[in-house]
Amino acid sequence: MGSLVAPVGEDGKLQTNSTSGDSLKSKSKKNNSTVDSDMFLSLLVAEMQNQDPLEPTSNTEWVSQYATFTQVKKMGEMAESIDLLRANDLVGKEVIMKVTSESTGDVTYARGTVDFITVENGKPIIWIDDKQYSMADLDTVVSGSYSSAYDKYDTLTAMLKGLPDIKYADKSYENVIKGAYELYNTFNDYEKNFMKTYGAKELALLEQWKEKLKDKGVDFSDVEAKEDEAGVSLDDIMKSFNTKMDAIIDRLKLLTGDTDTDNTDKDDTDKDDADKE
């Protein structure tokens, strides 16, 4: 699993996704200035006291304003509840957080498993490896298949990045190249497709190294045999099995149909003989 990128800048401040307008720092300020019921009623009373006596506001308008405020407040509370539910559902899952430094504007990505969730001022705070993130920093929820594929992709590309220019290829790199191929042979179909999508350049380089070492007398028959064996997936085996079973069933149906036809012909013959008698 990739390591988390520390969300702390050179200034010692926590890096949060300020571009979302909902960073940890701005949230606190926003909540302190939130209009609550008491403040709304105070404003409403002040408006009533300072209204034009010649054109007073009707009771219906006062009730309508309060009803609108209540509706908006309930919608906000519902949105916060949904955020809390979403955050709680993330516990134990692997996520990728998009972190933007408030001081420099630089964007980094932190990857790890959500340990637990806390709530501050009604807002969920995501904790990963003793570091806290805003819900607005959430970029991706990672599946187990993706995580495994990414880790293997990262390992394989790291092996290839340690190689010199291919013009320096010699037998001393035999174990490295064979090791890379053996690792690739452990990939399942999803992981191979992931590698072909995001690591096509690295796979091409690996193939070039293999051909170069072959020219220098290195034997790759062992890893190539494993590669061919790994290429037969469970899906291929099941498809082959289903095809054979369908053929057997069709054959049985055909034989059963012939038997039924013979029995029918025999019954018709017996009936004709009885009529003649």
Q: What is the pLDDT of residues 195-237, one digit of tens each?
A: 989 899 999 999 999 999 999 898 888 877 665 555 544 445 4
User: Average pLDDT in the 150-177 region?
Assistant: 92
CA angle (122, 126, 127) in 5-degree steps: 130
- How many domains are there within the chain? 2
Contact 187, 195 (CB under 8 A): yes
For residues 66 and 154, membership in a common domain is answered with no
For residues 133 and 191, membership in a common domain is answered with no
For residues 24 and 105, membership in a common domain is answered with yes
The answer on pLDDT for 82 being more than 50 is yes
pLDDT category of residue 241 using cuts at 50, 70 and 90? low
Backbone angles phi, psi at 26, to 5 degrees: -70, -25
Q: Is the dihedral of CA 3, 6, 7, 9 positive or negative?
A: negative
For residues 26 and 115, membership in a common domain is answered with yes
The answer on pLDDT for 8 being more than 50 is no
- Most confident by average pLDDT, 121-135, 139-153, 158-172: 158-172
The answer on pLDDT for 55 being more than 50 is yes
User: Do the domain assignments include residue 112?
Assistant: yes
User: Do the domain assignments include residue 262?
Assistant: no
User: Do the domain assignments include residue 178?
Assistant: yes
**CA 195 from centre of chain:** 16
| Rounded-to-integer distance, Cα 156 and Cα 200, Å | 12
Residue identified by tokens 């037969």 is: 232
Contact 230, 191 (CB under 8 A): no
User: Do the domain assignments include residue 240?
Assistant: no
For residues 50 and 37, membership in a common domain is answered with yes
- Of 113, 142, 171, the position where a domain reaches its end is 142
For residues 131 and 155, membership in a common domain is answered with no
User: Do the domain assignments include residue 267?
Assistant: no
For residues 48 and 35, membership in a common domain is answered with yes
For residues 130 and 94, membership in a common domain is answered with yes
Give the chain's length: 277
The answer on pLDDT for 188 being more than 80 is yes
For residues 160 and 46, membership in a common domain is answered with no
Tokens standing for residue 238: 């099941």
Please report the pLDDT score of residue 33 as a whole number: 44
For residues 190 and 157, membership in a common domain is answered with yes
- Of 84, 118, 142, the position where a domain reaches its end is 142
Backbone angles phi, psi at 127, to 5 degrees: -110, 125
For residues 70 and 98, membership in a common domain is answered with yes
User: Do the domain assignments include residue 7?
Assistant: no
pLDDT category of residue 144 using cuts at 50, 70 and 90? confident
**CA 41 from centre of chain:** 46
The answer on pLDDT for 93 being more than 50 is yes
User: Do the domain assignments include residue 222?
Assistant: yes
The answer on pLDDT for 86 being more than 60 is yes
pLDDT category of residue 29 using cuts at 50, 70 and 90? very low
Please report the pLDDT score of residue 172 as a whole number: 93
| % pLDDT > 90, the chain | 19
The answer on pLDDT for 238 being more than 80 is no
Please report the pLDDT score of residue 205 as a whole number: 92
For residues 166 and 188, membership in a common domain is answered with yes
User: Do the domain assignments include residue 96?
Assistant: yes
Q: What is the pLDDT of residues 105-128, one digit of tens each?
A: 888 888 888 999 888 887 888 999
DSSP string, 174-208: HHHHHHHHHHHHT--HHHHHHHHHH-HHHHHHHHH
pLDDT category of residue 101 using cuts at 50, 70 and 90? confident
**Domain residues for 156?**
144-230
- Of 194, 211, 230, the position where a domain reaches its end is 230
